[in-house]
Chains A and B, each alone.
Chain A
């Protein structure tokens, strides 16, 4: 696992996405740098309002008003900055290079078109296929996600599908144009555990089969452990820790990561009391000075209240933004 050998698919540099609301500027993504390698599953973990969904929307330039990408670069395959694409280029880019699966499949599929129509539409636009060829391709996509008898199901409407099947159809739609990156924004959080397990295994299998990268956005540390290769933890608009999944779970570095792992009720053993994180997620309009986690951090010192920790490398492929680890050097 040498870092140099892996091809960088997306290189996000100092990205800033702000929402200009009446209450003030919400710094949802504030100076985030991140690399997504080819063929890996990167999981973006954090609580609601930490900016993880905004970051994933920015990767396909889907941030809508009052939100705006105000700074930084998103380099695709090390060359082109997708933030400089014009309208036509970005339309070609979405769908064929990046595709996104949203949390709620019920509201992201169009209820008045058949599932097949929606997949065919994407194929017609991005792959220049028409008529029967496009339909054949859509059957192929549906059978890839293990929808039984795709020839019939393609002609059904979304309401005729169950929730799990709709999510499969969404994945089929996203993968129909062979994107390099599949963004899955909370792909299983509306589903039952049994269906969740099926979808997770499907995603894992598809990743191996197609070699696409997956950006998994989730708040569920169980889902992350099952699917991800690397984990990036976000807190109040910043990435606080990033590293390989095994090492992250064995030895989380940032106090927030530790607290987060301690706060989940363990499914495989009995505990009397859960560890709590004191306080609540801060407002992104007026985040705390210095390290944004310091009011809730049990290790906070003088320096944490004054200056902002940088994301520093502490081991091979592991980075953390915390003064506890900066003292060493």
Chain B
């Protein structure tokens, strides 16, 4: 199997209600959180999704792990459509796809010792004895850089970085094929961030995992991903390998995002703000290309037609009239 996860024309709209006289709900419109998103992840590949707040990255991830039911589109895992799976296949799918959440303070149950939290997936998905589960949990604790002595402690006794290690252990215990990590390091300090990123990368190489990593930080995405998708207002603007995306960004939005990163080098100071304005409302997104209101190259065409993702170079897809019509 060449492709592990294929997302095809995924759509998720959230209805917005308006209350007439404060009582009778009327549909006002839809927040087009994810609007026709397609991409694929190969085994052992790390796919990074970047974009500003409200671009639909998290909703995409939540649809993939079935925390949200997509309105339309397909999610194929190992060639099978996840949305049409029977119960047994679905259980197998859930075993193979695990998630790491952003906030390690709220994603662990504060009243359960972490050994149990980490071992719970094994209780649900395997028929190991409790002794086998215990030894497996202890092996996993070592794997993520914690000590077996931590088994009987509660989440409150750990720091943010350690908790994120616990979340990683819990996600890895079933030996999944795909890990979906939503902003895994954004609540951590610089020195802890480096450790968690190194850990995630080494585990990925060791177990040949696939990752879907979501972050708003370009530097994090650059460090961990092989392939990157740039999202803006529910649509993917550009998909490319790490190298070609950073060395040869084509979409004006990607260019703006990359040059917005404050470089840790006082000799390379930013002169002008690369992108003006803010994200428009996703209820009433601009017609045609959604980025046109902030794009300095926008023309008449951009207003009328929505650009499609087109492969410009080998594996480098861009949705921009400027490039595809050249």
Contacts and interface: CB of A to CB of B under 8 A. Distances in A.
B256 A260 contact: no
Contact of B274 (A194, A246, A260, A264): A194
A259 B266 contact: no
A259 B194 CA distance: 11
Nearest to B265: A225
A93 B189 CA distance: 34
Given A193-B216, A193-B261, A274-B223, A246 B191 contact: no
Interface of B: 52-53, 159, 161, 189-195, 197-198, 201, 216-220, 222-223, 242-243, 246, 256-267, 269-270, 272-276, 278-279
A222 interface: yes
Nearest to A246: B266
A47 interface: yes
A312 interface: no
Contact of B189 (A164, A219, A222, A270): A219
A219 B246 CA distance: 25
B190 A225 contact: no
A270 B244 CA distance: 12
Contacts of B259: 197
Contact of A198 (B201, B266, B273): B273
Given A47-B189, A47-B191, A260-B190, A249 B219 contact: no
Given A162-B278, A264-B190, A270-B243, A280 B159 contact: yes
A246 B130 CA distance: 58
Contacts of A276: 191, 194-195, 198
Contact of A201 (B220, B264, B267, B272): B272
A271 B223 contact: yes
Given A245-B266, A261-B264, A197 B223 contact: no
A219 B193 CA distance: 12
A263 interface: yes
A275 interface: yes
Contacts of A264: 190, 194, 219, 264
Nearest to A279: B191
Contacts of A240: none
Contacts, number: 129
Contacts of A246: 266-267
Contacts of A224: 264
A226 B191 contact: no
A267 B261 contact: yes
A184 to B, nearest CB: 14
Interface string A224-236: 1110100000000
Most chain A Cβ neighbours within 10 Å, of B190, B193, B197, B246: B190
Most chain B Cβ neighbours within 10 Å, of A164, A165, A223, A267: A267
Contacts of A267: 218-219, 222, 258, 261, 263-264
B52 A222 contact: no
16 contacts: A47-B189, A163-B53, A165-B278, A194-B275, A197-B270, A197-B275, A200-B262, A200-B270, A261-B264, A263-B193, A267-B258, A270-B223, A270-B242, A270-B243, A271-B223, A275-B194
Contacts of B275: 194, 197-198
Contact of A164 (B201, B261, B272, B278): B278
A265 B191 contact: no
Given A270-B243, A273-B201, A274-B194, A194 B257 contact: yes
Contacts of A3: none
A62 interface: no
Given A220-B262, A277-B194, A194 B52 contact: yes
A172 to B, nearest CB: 17
Nearest to B186: A189
Most chain B Cβ neighbours within 10 Å, of A265, A268, A271: A265
Contacts of B193: 263, 265
Interface string A204-231: 0000000000000001111111101000
A308 interface: no
Contact of A222 (B53, B256, B261, B279): B261
A225 B222 contact: no
B179 to A, nearest CB: 19
Contacts of B260: 193-194, 196-197
Nearest to B185: A265
Contacts of A223: 262
Contacts of A300: none
A171 to B, nearest CB: 15
Interface string A144-188: 000000000000000000111100000000000000000000000
A226 B269 contact: yes
Contact of A226 (B246, B262, B276): B262
B162 to A, nearest CB: 8
A219 to B, nearest CB: 6
B1 to A, nearest CB: 28
Nearest 9 interchain pairs by C-beta = A222-B262, A263-B194, A267-B219, A265-B223, A274-B194, A197-B260, A192-B52, A265-B219, A194-B275
Given A197-B274, A201-B270, A222-B261, A263 B52 contact: no
B243 to A, nearest CB: 7
Contacts of B262: 196-197, 200, 220, 222-223, 225-226
A72 B259 CA distance: 43
A265 B216 CA distance: 14
B223 A222 contact: no
A281 interface: yes
A193 B194 contact: no
B282 to A, nearest CB: 13
A165 B264 CA distance: 25
Contacts of B256: 194
